[in-house]
């Protein structure tokens, strides 16, 4: 079957091959025919080494498709079922799951060290234990979440990562208060999902901050009340908050420099929500005086900061009711053969989300 493979960490192009096989099918597993997959910034971060991932690997973790086959012991799924892929399935039994913080369950990551693809040249890993830039993937049954018939595959794929991450940051983690002021730094697919979440929660002002003009324009369509380039943020803070700082600032870039800016843009006693996925060697500096004296709440948000299955259902309900726009997130569509064009669209910031149709 066809799949897009990264041979070595640090390479910037994927190799679309037709000699790849999805392996590991057996008890508790399902085989999925992937129909749509979104390109998430974390895929680029795994390719360039910012996020840890053994190579060679198939990127992609935001996908949806149909069940082809179910292994022994899988009773809740059948061939033909339409599913979205959850890259962080909850085991239900670990301390995090028992506390209700299923987004912190590490059970799914145990699979990330096991190759789930094979080529004549050797084993191939799947990013984050999934790997959706491929026609077929074998995953634990818990990674396959059934979706209603009215949810198209491309929309379901987005809910599998970017939408859940961004919406959840605003709705679960920051729990934005009605009437508040919000700034969102970084307005790709996750950032505009955070903007939609802040709008849903009733934020009065939502300032979108991004260096790319097309993203700023998009952010306004998704509920931002104004959009500025990074060098316009200080002025927006002065105008909107009289210099005090925003009630909530979302960092959706994953860099210490933008996190520091976000910290300084948050008002005393306000909330800084860290959503971007950054590198282990990129250190954010805070001094001990400002930390206690300004009482800013620093709230990191992982995969939406809440139970992911609940988050999927919520996103579908909001989308169906017309309360969030998911179609508008998909600015580009390409077949798998043109995946490298999709990577370029992501790098330049031209795309909010590129959907790869399989």
What is the smallest separation between the CB atom of 162 and Zn ion, expressed in angstroms? Answer: 6
Q: Which of residues 108-127 bind Zn ion (CB under 5 A)?
A: none
Q: Which is closer to Zn ion, CB of 44 or CB of 94?
A: 94
Q: How far apart are CA 235 and CA 231, in angstroms?
A: 8
Which one of 67, 105, 275, 346 is in contact with Zn ion (CB under 5 A)?
105
What is the smallest separation between the CB atom of 311 and Zn ion, expressed in angstroms? Answer: 13
By the 8 A CB rule, do 233 and 183 touch? yes
What is the smallest separation between the CB atom of 269 and Zn ion, expressed in angstroms? Answer: 31
By the 8 A CB rule, do 250 and 273 touch? yes
Q: Which is closer to Zn ion, CB of 14 or CB of 236?
A: 14
Measured from the Cβ of residue 353, the count of other Cβ atoms closer than 10 Å reads 29
Q: Which is closer to Zn ion, CB of 39 or CB of 171?
A: 39
Q: Which is closer to Zn ion, CB of 104 or CB of 200?
A: 104
Q: Which is closer to Zn ion, CB of 133 or CB of 246?
A: 133
What is the smallest separation between the CB atom of 242 and Zn ion, expressed in angstroms? Answer: 36
Q: Which is closer to Zn ion, CB of 183 or CB of 275?
A: 275
Which one of 37, 42, 172, 266 is in contact with Zn ion (CB under 5 A)?
42
What is the smallest separation between the CB atom of 340 and Zn ion, expressed in angstroms? Answer: 19
Q: Does 40 bind Zn ion (CB under 5 A)?
A: yes
- Kindly write out the interface string for residues 238-277 of this chain, putting x where it contacts Zn ion by CB under 5 A and - elsewhere: ----------------------------------------
Q: Which is closer to Zn ion, CB of 76 or CB of 106?
A: 106
Measured from the Cβ of residue 178, the count of other Cβ atoms closer than 10 Å reads 8
What is the smallest separation between the CB atom of 20 and Zn ion, expressed in angstroms? Answer: 22
Q: Which is closer to Zn ion, CB of 85 or CB of 236?
A: 85
Which one of 39, 97, 156, 174 is in contact with Zn ion (CB under 5 A)?
97
Which one of 91, 177, 200, 204 is in contact with Zn ion (CB under 5 A)?
91
What is the smallest separation between the CB atom of 43 and Zn ion, expressed in angstroms? Answer: 7
What is the smallest separation between the CB atom of 165 and Zn ion, expressed in angstroms? Answer: 7
Stretch that binds Zn ion, among 36-44, 247-255, 278-286, 318-326 (CB under 5 A): 36-44
Q: Does 94 bind Zn ion (CB under 5 A)?
A: yes
What is the smallest separation between the CB atom of 108 and Zn ion, expressed in angstroms? Answer: 8
**Cα 205–Cα 208–Cα 209 angle in degrees, nearest 5:** 135
Look up residue 86 and give its two tokens: 């959850």
Q: Which of residues 135-164 bind Zn ion (CB under 5 A)?
A: 161
Q: How far apart are CA 143 and CA 44, in angstroms?
A: 22
Q: Does 47 bind Zn ion (CB under 5 A)?
A: no
- Kindly write out the interface string for residues 8-27 of this chain, putting x where it contacts Zn ion by CB under 5 A and - elsewhere: --------------------
Q: 3-state SS string over the chain? A: CCEEEECCCCCCCCEEECCCEECCCCCCEEEEEEEEEECCHHHHHHHCCCCCCCCCEECCCEEEEEEEEECCCCCCCCCCCEEEECCCCCCCCCHHHHCCCHHHCCHHHHHHHCCCEEECCEEEEEHHHCCCCECEEEEEHHHEEECCCCCCHHHHHHHCCHHHHHHHHHHHHCCCCCCCEEEEECCCHHHHHHHHHHHHCCCCEEEEECCCHHHHHHHHHCCCCEEECHHHHHHHHHHHHCCCCEEEEEECCCCHHHHHHHHHHEEEEEEEEECCCCCCCCCCCCCHHHHHHCCCEEEECCCCCCCHHHHHHHHHHHHHCCCCCCHHHEEEEEEHHHHHHHHHHHHCCCCCEEEEEC
The binding site for Zn ion (CB under 5 A) comprises: 40, 42, 91, 94, 97, 105, 107, 161
């Amino acid at each position: 079957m066809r799949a897009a493979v990264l041979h070595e960490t640090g390479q910037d192009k994927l190799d679309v091959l037709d000699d790849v096989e999805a392996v590991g099918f057996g008890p508790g597993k399902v085989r999925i025919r992937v129909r749509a997959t979104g390109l998430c910034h974390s895929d680029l971060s795994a390719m360039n080494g910012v996020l840890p991932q053994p190579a060679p690997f198939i990127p992609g973790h935001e996908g949806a498709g149909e069940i082809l086959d179910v292994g022994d012991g899988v009773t809740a799924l059948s061939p033909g079922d339409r599913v979205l892929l959850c890259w962080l399935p909850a085991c239900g039994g670990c301390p995090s799951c028992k506390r209700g913080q299923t987004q912190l369950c590490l059970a799914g990551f145990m699979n990330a060290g096991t190759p789930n693809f094979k080529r004549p040249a050797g084993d191939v890993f799947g990013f984050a234990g999934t790997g959706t830039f491929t026609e077929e993937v074998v995953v634990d049954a818990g990674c396959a979440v059934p979706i209603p018939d009215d949810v198209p595959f491309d929309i379901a794929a987005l809910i599998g990562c970017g939408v859940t991450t961004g919406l959840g940051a605003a709705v679960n983690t920051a729990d934005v208060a009605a009437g508040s002021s919000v700034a969102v730094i970084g307005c790709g697919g996750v950032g505009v999902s955070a903007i939609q979440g802040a709008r849903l929660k009733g934020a009065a002002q939502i300032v979108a901050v991004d260096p790319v003009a097309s993203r700023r324009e998009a952010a306004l369509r998704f509920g931002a009340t104004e959009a500025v380039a990074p060098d316009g943020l200080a002025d927006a803070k002065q105008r909107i908050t009289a210099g005090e700082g925003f009630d909530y600032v979302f960092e959706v870039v994953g860099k210490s420099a933008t996190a520091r800016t976000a910290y300084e843009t948050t008002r005393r006693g306000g909330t800084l929500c860290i959503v971007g996925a950054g590198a282990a060697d990129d250190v954010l500096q805070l001094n001990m005086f400002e930390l206690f004296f300004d009482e800013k709440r620093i709230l990191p948000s992982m995969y939406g900061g809440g139970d992911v299955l609940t988050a999927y259902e919520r996103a579908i309900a909001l989308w169906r009711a017309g309360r969030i726009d998911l179609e508008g997130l998909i600015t580009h569509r390409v077949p798998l053969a043109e995946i490298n064009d999709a990577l370029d669209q992501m790098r330049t910031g031209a795309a909010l989300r590129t959907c790869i149709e399989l």
